[in-house]
Amino acid sequence: MDAFDLDVRRHVYSSVVADGRPPTTTETAGAFGRDEPEIADAYRRLHDAHALVLFPDTTEVWMANPFCFAPTPHRVTAGGRTWTGTCCWDALGISGALHADAEISTECACCGEPLTLVVRGDALAEGADTLCHVLVPARRWWDDIGFT
Amino acid sequence: MVYLRSEEHLSRWLSDNGWEPGATLSAAKMNELSRAWWWTRLDPGWRPRSADESQAILTDLGLTGDFWALR
């Protein structure tokens, strides 16, 4: 990953934190004073390197993990904003990435019953005995990251 | 990677979908893993981790064996 791609990635993540959403390639091109196709190529390289996830066949950011920009059952209130987590790992990861306490409103994958987890400091103050299940073995996580 | 309220609900969810079990962690353990995995993600000087560095995070938390092997 070269310095330009790292700069683009840093811009995407800082925009996510500032605006609650990732920048479009047009917005990032404006910020860098570059042509949009050049930024689109950088987004694709970051996707291929698993540093971002794009919606299929687009240059729109689906995940800047642990943050997700498609609906999921995992809503995370932290750092003065409500975020979406891709999965149980990422939902808790938003608290870690922001270094902030968090409340996670989610549901049981089996029955849909609402579940709440609260992170205070480094630990879970509520929901510590909730179960997390990882279905896919680690070496296959990126085969279909949306399913994982 | 999903949340489930109990072992009973986990078993039912796997059975209803015809899936083999993967790995089950308490949310407390997943929180430890999430913090270790994502803590530096917003650092201005972030660089991609090597596979060995990522594997070490899992190993340090006792997540070992073939299921947790990244390669």
Q: Hey, are the CB atoms on A110 and B4 less than 8 Å from each other?
A: yes
Average pLDDT of the segment spanning A77-98: 96
Give the range of the structural domain holding residue A35, as residue numbers without chain letter.
Answer: 3-64
Residue that is last in its domain, among A64, A84, A114: A64
Domain residue limits, chain B: 25-39+48-71
Of the candidates B35, B47, B67, which has its C-beta nearest A137's C-beta?
A: B67
Give the distance from residue A64's alpha carbon to the nearest chain B alpha carbon, in angstroms: 10
Residue that is last in its domain, among A18, A34, A64: A64
Q: Both A60 and A76 in a single domain?
A: no
Q: Both A60 and A90 in a single domain?
A: no
Question: B24 contacts in A (CB within 8 Å)?
Answer: 131-134
Q: Hey, are the CB atoms on B34 and A87 less than 8 Å from each other?
A: no
**Which pLDDT belongs to residue A143?**
86
Which helix H or strand E contains A14, and what residues bound it?
A: helix A3-19
**Which pLDDT belongs to residue B52?**
97
Q: Hey, are the CB atoms on A132 and B16 less than 8 Å from each other?
A: no
Q: Both A56 and A77 in a single domain?
A: no
Tell me whether B26 touches chain A (CB under 8 Å).
yes
pTM over 0.90: yes
Residue that is last in its domain, among A17, A34, A64: A64
pLDDT tens digits, residue range A40-52? 999 999 999 999 9
Q: Tell me the C-alpha distance between A147 and B40, whole Å.
A: 25
Give the distance from residue B34's alpha carbon to the nearest chain A alpha carbon, in angstroms: 5
Question: A136 contacts in B (CB within 8 Å)?
Answer: 22
Asked if residue A141 is part of any domain, the answer here is no
* The residue to which tokens 């791609």 are assigned: A5
Q: Left if phi > 0, otherwise alpha if psi is -120 to 50, otherwise beta: which for A50?
A: left
* Structure token pair of residue A89: 């790992």
Sequence-distant contacts of A29-32: CB under 8 A, at least 24 apart: A32/A7, A32/A8
The SS3 call for residue A26 is: helix
Q: Both A116 and A79 in a single domain?
A: yes
Looking at residue A111, which CATH number applies to its domain?
3.15.10.60
Asked if residue A83 is part of any domain, the answer here is yes
Asked if residue A120 is part of any domain, the answer here is yes
Q: Per the structure, how many domains does chain A have?
A: 2
Asked if residue A9 is part of any domain, the answer here is yes
Q: Contact A84/A66 with Cβ under 8 angstroms?
A: no
Of the candidates A10, A14, A131, which has its C-beta nearest B26's C-beta?
A: A131
- Judged against a pLDDT cut of 90, whether residue A142 lies above it is answered with no
ipTM of the complex: 0.94
Q: Tell me the C-alpha distance between B6 and B24, whole Å.
A: 11
Q: Both A75 and A25 in a single domain?
A: no
Q: Higher confidence at residue A147 or residue B9? A: B9
- Judged against a pLDDT cut of 90, whether residue A144 lies above it is answered with no
* Structure token pair of residue A108: 């049981």
CB pairs under 8 A between A and B: 164
**Which pLDDT belongs to residue A36?**
98
Q: Which of A90, A148, A141 is nearest to A117 (CA)?
A: A90
Q: Both A38 and A82 in a single domain?
A: no
Q: Which of A30, A67, A19, A62 is nearest to A43 (CA)?
A: A62
Looking at residue A41, which CATH number applies to its domain?
1.10.10.10
Give the distance from residue B35's alpha carbon to the nearest chain A alpha carbon, in angstroms: 5
- Across all residues in chain A, what is the average pLDDT? 96
